[in-house]
Amino acid sequence: MGVTGFICGPRLYKSEGWFFEVNPACGPWPLKKDGELRERAGRKFYNMYSRFDKLSRKEKLNFRVGGGCIPI
């Protein structure tokens, strides 16, 4: 039996003490330690994300902790 489809979710990262998701439809958003969305994303988060976003795709993989697409 081969791959019949994919289940996709936002990519999850940890960088500079932040745990956050990057969703192609909605952009980046900080998460609580349990994975729930934080209520707000302030200047500190977006400053960190600006530095993170300047990294190459390969460098970003070093900070990835989950999410993305998985075959089913």
Residue 20: the pLDDT is 98
Give the distance, in angstroms, between the CA of residue 63 and the centroid of all CA atoms in the same chain.
Answer: 9
Residue 64: the pLDDT is 97
Contacts of 15 (CB under 8 A, 6+ apart): 48, 52, 63
Count Cβ atoms within 10 A of the Cβ of residue 67 and give its class: 0-12 exposed, 13-18 middle, 19 or more buried: middle
pTM of the model: 0.87
Residue 1: the pLDDT is 67
Q: In the chain, what are the domain boundaries? A: 11-65
Q: How crowded is residue 14: how many other Cβ atoms within 10 Å of its Cβ?
A: 13
User: What is the chain's pLDDT, residue by residue, as a tens digit (72 residues)?
Assistant: 687 899 999 999 999 999 999 998 899 999 999 999 999 999 999 999 999 999 999 999 999 999 998 888
Q: In degrees to the nearest 10, what's the CA dihedral of 22, 9, 39, 49?
A: -10
